[in-house]
Structure 1
Protein backbone atom coordinates (compact mmCIF):
# COMPACT_ATOMS: atom_id res chain seq x y z
CA UNK A 1 0.00 0.00 0.00
CA UNK A 2 2.92 2.37 0.66
CA UNK A 3 4.13 1.99 -2.95
CA UNK A 4 0.61 2.82 -4.14
CA UNK A 5 0.50 5.93 -1.93
CA UNK A 6 3.89 6.98 -3.30
CA UNK A 7 2.58 6.77 -6.89
CA UNK A 8 -0.62 8.63 -6.02
CA UNK A 9 1.49 11.35 -4.35
CA UNK A 10 3.74 12.04 -7.35
CA UNK A 11 3.41 15.68 -8.45
CA UNK A 12 0.73 16.29 -11.04
CA UNK A 13 1.74 17.40 -14.50
CA UNK A 14 1.47 21.16 -14.88
CA UNK A 15 -1.05 20.47 -17.68
CA UNK A 16 -3.37 19.03 -14.99
CA UNK A 17 -3.30 22.25 -12.96
CA UNK A 18 -5.70 25.11 -13.63
CA UNK A 19 -5.20 28.71 -12.59
CA UNK A 20 -7.85 31.31 -11.79
CA UNK A 21 -8.04 34.83 -10.41
CA UNK A 22 -8.95 34.95 -6.74
CA UNK A 23 -8.89 38.74 -6.43
CA UNK A 24 -7.52 41.94 -7.92
CA UNK A 25 -6.59 44.92 -5.78
CA UNK A 26 -6.91 48.59 -6.76
CA UNK A 27 -3.20 48.71 -7.57
CA UNK A 28 -3.76 46.17 -10.34
CA UNK A 29 -2.21 43.14 -8.66
CA UNK A 30 -4.05 39.87 -9.27
CA UNK A 31 -3.83 37.00 -6.82
CA UNK A 32 -3.87 33.74 -8.79
CA UNK A 33 -4.92 30.37 -7.37
CA UNK A 34 -3.62 27.03 -8.62
CA UNK A 35 -6.11 24.15 -8.35
CA UNK A 36 -7.06 20.75 -9.76
CA UNK A 37 -10.49 19.63 -10.84
CA UNK A 38 -12.12 16.33 -9.89
CA UNK A 39 -11.35 14.74 -13.28
CA UNK A 40 -7.64 14.94 -12.45
CA UNK A 41 -8.27 12.90 -9.31
CA UNK A 42 -10.36 10.32 -11.17
CA UNK A 43 -7.70 9.98 -13.88
CA UNK A 44 -4.89 9.54 -11.32
CA UNK A 45 -6.89 6.90 -9.44
CA UNK A 46 -7.71 5.07 -12.69
CA UNK A 47 -4.07 5.14 -13.82
CA UNK A 48 -2.49 4.11 -10.52
CA UNK A 49 -4.95 1.68 -8.93
CA UNK A 50 -7.18 0.77 -11.89
CA UNK A 51 -10.70 1.90 -12.68
CA UNK A 52 -12.27 -1.05 -10.83
CA UNK A 53 -10.09 -0.83 -7.71
CA UNK A 54 -11.35 2.40 -6.20
CA UNK A 55 -14.73 3.83 -5.27
CA UNK A 56 -16.24 6.98 -3.85
CA UNK A 57 -19.18 7.43 -1.57
CA UNK A 58 -20.85 10.68 -0.54
CA UNK A 59 -22.47 10.94 2.89
CA UNK A 60 -24.03 13.68 5.04
CA UNK A 61 -25.81 15.30 2.06
CA UNK A 62 -22.58 15.35 -0.01
CA UNK A 63 -20.64 17.20 2.72
CA UNK A 64 -18.30 14.25 3.16
CA UNK A 65 -16.72 11.99 0.57
CA UNK A 66 -15.10 8.64 1.28
CA UNK A 67 -12.57 7.46 -1.31
CA UNK A 68 -11.74 3.78 -0.90
CA UNK A 69 -9.00 1.78 -2.60
CA UNK A 70 -8.94 -2.00 -2.76
CA UNK A 71 -5.92 -3.42 -0.93
CA UNK A 72 -5.12 -6.79 -2.46
CA UNK A 73 -2.65 -7.54 0.32
CA UNK A 74 -5.27 -7.11 3.08
CA UNK A 75 -8.23 -8.21 0.92
CA UNK A 76 -10.24 -5.20 2.03
CA UNK A 77 -11.10 -1.62 1.14
CA UNK A 78 -8.93 1.10 2.70
CA UNK A 79 -10.69 4.47 2.96
CA UNK A 80 -9.94 8.14 3.45
CA UNK A 81 -12.62 10.74 4.09
CA UNK A 82 -12.89 14.52 4.06
CA UNK A 83 -15.44 17.33 4.16
CA UNK A 84 -16.08 19.81 1.36
CA UNK A 85 -17.31 23.38 1.12
CA UNK A 86 -20.22 24.63 -0.98
CA UNK A 87 -19.59 26.33 -4.30
CA UNK A 88 -21.07 29.75 -4.98
CA UNK A 89 -22.31 28.64 -8.40
CA UNK A 90 -23.49 25.02 -8.10
CA UNK A 91 -24.27 24.24 -4.46
CA UNK A 92 -24.77 20.44 -4.55
CA UNK A 93 -22.31 19.62 -7.33
CA UNK A 94 -19.70 21.96 -5.87
CA UNK A 95 -20.01 20.42 -2.42
CA UNK A 96 -19.68 16.86 -3.78
CA UNK A 97 -16.75 17.81 -6.02
CA UNK A 98 -14.92 19.66 -3.23
CA UNK A 99 -15.33 16.82 -0.72
CA UNK A 100 -14.08 14.33 -3.36
CA UNK A 101 -11.01 16.46 -4.18
CA UNK A 102 -10.23 16.87 -0.47
CA UNK A 103 -10.54 13.13 0.14
CA UNK A 104 -8.16 12.59 -2.80
CA UNK A 105 -5.70 15.05 -1.20
CA UNK A 106 -5.72 12.65 1.76
CA UNK A 107 -4.54 9.93 -0.64
CA UNK A 108 -1.75 12.31 -1.72
CA UNK A 109 -3.18 13.37 -5.09
CA UNK A 110 -2.17 16.97 -5.80
CA UNK A 111 -0.85 17.48 -2.29
CA UNK A 112 2.03 19.52 -3.74
CA UNK A 113 -0.48 22.30 -4.47
CA UNK A 114 -0.28 23.20 -0.77
CA UNK A 115 3.39 24.03 -1.36
CA UNK A 116 2.79 26.30 -4.35
CA UNK A 117 3.97 29.87 -3.75
CA UNK A 118 1.72 32.86 -3.34
CA UNK A 119 1.08 33.89 -6.96
CA UNK A 120 0.60 37.60 -7.49
CA UNK A 121 0.85 39.21 -10.91
CA UNK A 122 0.92 42.91 -11.83
CA UNK A 123 -1.74 43.43 -14.48
CA UNK A 124 -1.36 45.76 -17.43
CA UNK A 125 -3.63 48.81 -17.26
CA UNK A 126 -5.91 47.38 -19.98
CA UNK A 127 -6.39 44.09 -18.07
CA UNK A 128 -8.39 45.48 -15.12
CA UNK A 129 -10.75 48.29 -14.25
CA UNK A 130 -11.74 49.95 -11.00
CA UNK A 131 -15.43 50.75 -10.53
CA UNK A 132 -15.87 52.40 -7.14
CA UNK A 133 -14.86 49.79 -4.59
CA UNK A 134 -14.91 46.95 -7.13
CA UNK A 135 -11.92 45.87 -9.18
CA UNK A 136 -12.45 43.41 -12.00
CA UNK A 137 -10.54 41.95 -14.88
CA UNK A 138 -11.30 42.96 -18.45
CA UNK A 139 -11.52 40.77 -21.54
CA UNK A 140 -7.90 41.72 -22.27
CA UNK A 141 -6.70 39.62 -19.32
CA UNK A 142 -6.55 36.13 -20.81
CA UNK A 143 -5.21 33.97 -17.96
CA UNK A 144 -6.65 30.79 -19.55
CA UNK A 145 -4.32 31.33 -22.53
CA UNK A 146 -1.17 31.62 -20.44
CA UNK A 147 1.45 28.88 -20.69
CA UNK A 148 2.70 27.62 -17.34
CA UNK A 149 5.98 25.88 -16.58
CA UNK A 150 6.80 23.83 -13.48
CA UNK A 151 9.77 21.92 -12.20
CA UNK A 152 10.01 19.59 -9.21
CA UNK A 153 12.96 18.14 -7.32
CA UNK A 154 12.24 15.20 -5.00
CA UNK A 155 8.52 15.95 -5.24
CA UNK A 156 8.93 19.61 -4.23
CA UNK A 157 8.16 22.53 -6.52
CA UNK A 158 11.43 24.31 -7.36
CA UNK A 159 10.21 26.47 -10.25
CA UNK A 160 6.89 27.91 -11.41
CA UNK A 161 6.59 30.36 -14.27
CA UNK A 162 4.05 31.70 -16.73
CA UNK A 163 4.05 33.42 -20.10
CA UNK A 164 1.00 35.34 -21.21
CA UNK A 165 -0.81 35.11 -24.54
CA UNK A 166 1.84 37.47 -26.03
CA UNK A 167 4.75 35.21 -24.89
CA UNK A 168 5.78 37.72 -22.23
CA UNK A 169 7.01 36.27 -18.92
CA UNK A 170 4.48 37.35 -16.28
CA UNK A 171 5.40 35.22 -13.29
CA UNK A 172 8.46 33.38 -11.98
CA UNK A 173 9.25 31.54 -8.78
CA UNK A 174 12.56 29.72 -8.31
CA UNK A 175 15.09 28.92 -11.03
CA UNK A 176 14.19 26.95 -14.18
CA UNK A 177 16.43 24.02 -15.16
CA UNK A 178 14.24 22.20 -17.70
CA UNK A 179 10.65 22.79 -18.84
CA UNK A 180 7.42 20.91 -18.32
CA UNK A 181 4.82 22.82 -20.33
CA UNK A 182 1.13 23.32 -19.64
CA UNK A 183 -0.82 23.23 -22.89
CA UNK A 184 -2.80 26.35 -23.74
CA UNK A 185 -6.56 26.15 -23.37
Structure 2
Protein backbone atom coordinates (compact mmCIF):
# COMPACT_ATOMS: atom_id res chain seq x y z
CA UNK A 1 0.00 0.00 0.00
CA UNK A 2 1.21 3.51 -0.73
CA UNK A 3 1.60 6.34 1.73
CA UNK A 4 -1.28 8.66 2.50
CA UNK A 5 -1.29 11.78 0.34
CA UNK A 6 -0.78 14.91 2.42
CA UNK A 7 -3.37 17.61 1.73
CA UNK A 8 -1.80 21.03 2.47
CA UNK A 9 -3.42 23.29 5.04
CA UNK A 10 -5.06 26.44 3.72
CA UNK A 11 -2.94 29.58 3.85
CA UNK A 12 -4.23 33.06 4.67
CA UNK A 13 -4.39 33.79 0.92
CA UNK A 14 -6.61 30.74 0.34
CA UNK A 15 -9.28 31.79 2.85
CA UNK A 16 -12.04 34.32 2.33
CA UNK A 17 -14.32 36.01 4.86
CA UNK A 18 -18.10 36.19 4.56
CA UNK A 19 -20.48 38.09 6.82
CA UNK A 20 -23.03 35.72 8.33
CA UNK A 21 -25.19 37.16 11.09
CA UNK A 22 -25.76 40.93 10.87
CA UNK A 23 -26.76 43.16 13.77
CA UNK A 24 -26.64 46.94 14.22
CA UNK A 25 -23.56 46.63 16.42
CA UNK A 26 -21.60 44.13 14.35
CA UNK A 27 -21.65 40.81 12.57
CA UNK A 28 -20.35 37.27 12.73
CA UNK A 29 -17.85 36.13 10.13
CA UNK A 30 -17.54 32.75 8.42
CA UNK A 31 -14.33 31.52 6.80
CA UNK A 32 -14.60 29.73 3.47
CA UNK A 33 -12.67 28.63 0.39
CA UNK A 34 -13.79 28.96 -3.21
CA UNK A 35 -13.77 26.38 -6.00
CA UNK A 36 -10.64 27.87 -7.59
CA UNK A 37 -8.73 27.16 -4.37
CA UNK A 38 -9.87 23.53 -4.51
CA UNK A 39 -8.80 23.15 -8.13
CA UNK A 40 -5.40 24.66 -7.44
CA UNK A 41 -4.76 22.27 -4.54
CA UNK A 42 -6.00 19.27 -6.54
CA UNK A 43 -3.62 20.22 -9.37
CA UNK A 44 -0.76 20.69 -6.91
CA UNK A 45 -1.26 17.41 -5.02
CA UNK A 46 -2.50 15.03 -7.72
CA UNK A 47 -1.50 16.76 -10.97
CA UNK A 48 -3.85 17.92 -13.72
CA UNK A 49 -4.23 14.31 -14.90
CA UNK A 50 -4.73 12.94 -11.41
CA UNK A 51 -8.25 14.12 -10.57
CA UNK A 52 -11.71 14.20 -12.11
CA UNK A 53 -15.09 15.71 -11.30
CA UNK A 54 -18.59 14.69 -12.34
CA UNK A 55 -21.99 16.21 -11.57
CA UNK A 56 -25.23 14.21 -11.54
CA UNK A 57 -28.82 14.65 -10.42
CA UNK A 58 -30.02 12.21 -7.76
CA UNK A 59 -33.66 12.57 -6.64
CA UNK A 60 -33.65 16.13 -7.89
CA UNK A 61 -30.50 17.05 -5.95
CA UNK A 62 -27.26 18.02 -7.70
CA UNK A 63 -24.33 15.90 -6.51
CA UNK A 64 -20.65 16.19 -7.40
CA UNK A 65 -18.22 13.28 -7.37
CA UNK A 66 -14.51 14.10 -7.21
CA UNK A 67 -12.10 11.30 -8.04
CA UNK A 68 -8.42 11.48 -7.14
CA UNK A 69 -5.64 9.09 -8.07
CA UNK A 70 -3.08 7.80 -5.60
CA UNK A 71 0.26 8.84 -7.16
CA UNK A 72 1.94 5.60 -5.97
CA UNK A 73 -0.71 2.89 -6.42
CA UNK A 74 -2.63 4.61 -9.26
CA UNK A 75 -5.84 3.64 -7.45
CA UNK A 76 -8.80 5.99 -7.93
CA UNK A 77 -10.73 7.13 -4.85
CA UNK A 78 -14.13 8.86 -5.07
CA UNK A 79 -15.75 11.39 -2.74
CA UNK A 80 -19.27 12.72 -3.27
CA UNK A 81 -21.49 15.43 -1.78
CA UNK A 82 -24.59 17.48 -2.59
CA UNK A 83 -24.77 21.21 -3.24
CA UNK A 84 -27.23 23.96 -2.39
CA UNK A 85 -28.17 26.81 -4.70
CA UNK A 86 -26.73 30.29 -4.28
CA UNK A 87 -28.73 33.51 -4.04
CA UNK A 88 -27.63 34.63 -7.51
CA UNK A 89 -26.90 31.87 -10.03
CA UNK A 90 -28.85 28.88 -8.76
CA UNK A 91 -27.54 26.03 -10.95
CA UNK A 92 -23.99 27.32 -11.10
CA UNK A 93 -24.10 27.91 -7.36
CA UNK A 94 -25.29 24.35 -6.67
CA UNK A 95 -22.59 22.86 -8.90
CA UNK A 96 -19.84 24.92 -7.26
CA UNK A 97 -21.13 24.16 -3.77
CA UNK A 98 -21.33 20.42 -4.45
CA UNK A 99 -17.76 20.46 -5.79
CA UNK A 100 -16.44 22.35 -2.75
CA UNK A 101 -18.22 19.94 -0.40
CA UNK A 102 -16.77 16.93 -2.17
CA UNK A 103 -13.33 18.51 -1.81
CA UNK A 104 -13.99 18.96 1.92
CA UNK A 105 -14.52 15.20 2.04
CA UNK A 106 -11.12 14.70 0.43
CA UNK A 107 -9.65 16.90 3.14
CA UNK A 108 -9.21 20.25 1.42
CA UNK A 109 -10.04 23.01 3.90
CA UNK A 110 -11.46 20.68 6.54
CA UNK A 111 -9.51 22.69 9.11
CA UNK A 112 -12.00 25.55 8.64
CA UNK A 113 -14.47 23.56 10.76
CA UNK A 114 -12.20 24.27 13.76
CA UNK A 115 -12.56 28.04 13.36
CA UNK A 116 -13.66 29.97 16.47
CA UNK A 117 -16.76 32.13 16.62
CA UNK A 118 -15.73 35.41 14.98
CA UNK A 119 -17.47 38.68 15.77
CA UNK A 120 -16.61 42.02 14.14
CA UNK A 121 -17.85 45.34 15.59
CA UNK A 122 -18.80 47.95 12.99
CA UNK A 123 -16.92 51.24 12.91
CA UNK A 124 -17.81 54.59 11.36
CA UNK A 125 -20.12 54.20 8.34
CA UNK A 126 -19.54 50.46 7.87
CA UNK A 127 -23.21 49.79 8.66
CA UNK A 128 -25.86 51.78 6.78
CA UNK A 129 -29.53 51.11 6.09
CA UNK A 130 -29.35 47.64 7.56
CA UNK A 131 -26.43 46.54 5.37
CA UNK A 132 -22.75 46.20 6.28
CA UNK A 133 -20.13 47.64 3.95
CA UNK A 134 -16.75 46.24 4.85
CA UNK A 135 -13.99 44.25 3.17
CA UNK A 136 -12.17 41.75 5.38
CA UNK A 137 -9.36 39.32 4.79
CA UNK A 138 -7.30 36.83 6.77
CA UNK A 139 -3.91 38.33 7.53
CA UNK A 140 -2.45 35.26 9.25
CA UNK A 141 -3.49 31.82 10.43
CA UNK A 142 -1.71 29.07 12.36
CA UNK A 143 -2.52 25.45 13.12
CA UNK A 144 -1.48 22.84 15.66
CA UNK A 145 -0.35 19.27 14.95
CA UNK A 146 -4.00 18.18 14.82
CA UNK A 147 -4.64 20.62 11.95
CA UNK A 148 -6.77 22.82 14.23
CA UNK A 149 -6.74 26.61 14.07
CA UNK A 150 -4.87 28.04 17.05
CA UNK A 151 -4.22 31.60 15.88
CA UNK A 152 -6.13 33.83 13.48
CA UNK A 153 -5.91 37.51 12.58
CA UNK A 154 -8.46 39.28 10.35
CA UNK A 155 -7.92 42.80 9.01
CA UNK A 156 -9.95 45.31 7.00
CA UNK A 157 -8.93 46.87 3.67
CA UNK A 158 -6.83 49.48 5.50
CA UNK A 159 -4.89 46.82 7.38
CA UNK A 160 -6.55 47.48 10.73
CA UNK A 161 -6.87 44.37 12.91
CA UNK A 162 -10.58 43.64 13.38
CA UNK A 163 -10.27 40.21 14.98
CA UNK A 164 -7.43 38.41 16.75
CA UNK A 165 -7.97 34.92 18.11
CA UNK A 166 -5.23 35.26 20.73
CA UNK A 167 -5.85 38.91 21.64
CA UNK A 168 -9.56 39.53 21.24
CA UNK A 169 -10.88 42.78 22.78
CA UNK A 170 -13.74 42.20 25.20
CA UNK A 171 -15.80 44.89 23.50
CA UNK A 172 -15.91 42.77 20.33
CA UNK A 173 -18.52 40.57 22.03
CA UNK A 174 -21.78 42.55 22.11
CA UNK A 175 -23.81 42.16 25.28
CA UNK A 176 -27.31 43.46 25.83
CA UNK A 177 -29.70 43.25 28.72
CA UNK A 178 -30.06 39.51 28.20
CA UNK A 179 -26.88 38.06 26.65
CA UNK A 180 -28.45 34.62 26.18
CA UNK A 181 -30.91 36.12 23.66
CA UNK A 182 -28.03 37.26 21.48
CA UNK A 183 -26.42 33.82 21.81
CA UNK A 184 -29.63 32.16 20.65
CA UNK A 185 -30.00 34.56 17.72
CA UNK A 186 -26.44 34.01 16.53
CA UNK A 187 -26.52 30.24 17.01
CA UNK A 188 -29.86 29.83 15.21
CA UNK A 189 -28.66 31.95 12.30
CA UNK A 190 -25.60 29.70 11.96
CA UNK A 191 -27.83 26.61 12.10
CA UNK A 192 -30.04 28.06 9.36
CA UNK A 193 -26.98 28.59 7.13
CA UNK A 194 -25.39 25.19 7.89
CA UNK A 195 -24.87 23.11 4.76
CA UNK A 196 -23.54 19.81 6.07
CA UNK A 197 -23.40 17.49 9.05
CA UNK A 198 -19.91 18.74 9.79
CA UNK A 199 -21.26 22.32 9.92
CA UNK A 200 -23.91 21.27 12.43
CA UNK A 201 -21.42 19.33 14.56
CA UNK A 202 -19.12 22.37 14.62
CA UNK A 203 -22.00 24.63 15.70
CA UNK A 204 -23.05 22.12 18.38
CA UNK A 205 -19.54 21.97 19.83
CA UNK A 206 -18.89 25.71 19.60
CA UNK A 207 -22.09 26.71 21.43
CA UNK A 208 -21.47 24.46 24.44
CA UNK A 209 -23.45 26.80 26.69
CA UNK A 210 -26.63 26.08 24.72
CA UNK A 211 -26.34 22.29 24.61
CA UNK A 212 -28.82 21.91 27.47
CA UNK A 213 -31.42 23.96 25.59
CA UNK A 214 -34.20 21.90 24.02
CA UNK A 215 -34.84 24.74 21.57
CA UNK A 216 -31.20 24.68 20.42
CA UNK A 217 -31.17 20.89 19.99
CA UNK A 218 -34.52 20.99 18.21
CA UNK A 219 -33.19 23.56 15.71
CA UNK A 220 -30.12 21.40 15.04
CA UNK A 221 -32.26 18.31 14.54
CA UNK A 222 -34.68 20.10 12.21
CA UNK A 223 -31.85 21.48 10.05
CA UNK A 224 -30.22 18.05 9.98
CA UNK A 225 -33.44 16.55 8.63
CA UNK A 226 -33.75 19.33 6.04
CA UNK A 227 -30.27 18.41 4.78
CA UNK A 228 -31.19 14.74 4.63
CA UNK A 229 -28.83 13.76 7.45
CA UNK A 230 -30.45 11.17 9.68
CA UNK A 231 -27.67 10.29 12.10
CA UNK A 232 -25.53 12.41 14.41
CA UNK A 233 -24.21 10.68 17.49
CA UNK A 234 -23.35 13.87 19.39
CA UNK A 235 -26.67 15.56 18.77
CA UNK A 236 -28.73 12.39 19.18
CA UNK A 237 -27.13 11.83 22.56
CA UNK A 238 -28.57 15.16 23.72
CA UNK A 239 -32.04 14.47 22.35
CA UNK A 240 -32.57 11.08 23.96
TM-score, L = length of structure 2: 0.63
Structure with the largest fraction of helix: 2
**1:12 aligned to 10, 13, 16, which one?**
10
User: How far apart are residue 121 of structure 1 and its match?
Assistant: 0.5
Deviations 1:75-118 (A, max 9, x none): 54210111111111111110000000000000000000111111
Structure 2 CA distance for aligned equivalents of residues 69 and 15 of structure 1: 24
Q: How many matched pairs?
A: 163
Structure 1 residues 46, 85: closer, same or farther in 2, change over 3 A? same
User: How far apart are residue 125 of structure 1 and its match?
Assistant: 3.5
Structure 1 residues 58, 125: closer, same or farther in 2, change over 3 A? same
Q: In the alignment, what sits opposite 1:54?
A: 51
Q: In the alignment, what sits opposite 2:157?
A: 165
Q: In the alignment, what sits opposite 1:123?
A: 122
Q: In the alignment, what sits opposite 2:94?
A: 95
Structure 2 CA distance for aligned equivalents of residues 69 and 102 of structure 1: 15
In structure 1, list runs of 5 or more residues that go unmatched: 176-185
Q: In the alignment, what sits opposite 2:4?
A: 3
Deviations 1:52-72 (A, max 9, x none): 011000011771000011235
Please give the root-mean-square deviation of Cα atoms over the aligned residues, in Å: 2.0
Confirm or deny: 8 A CA contact 2:138 2:152 kept in the other structure. no
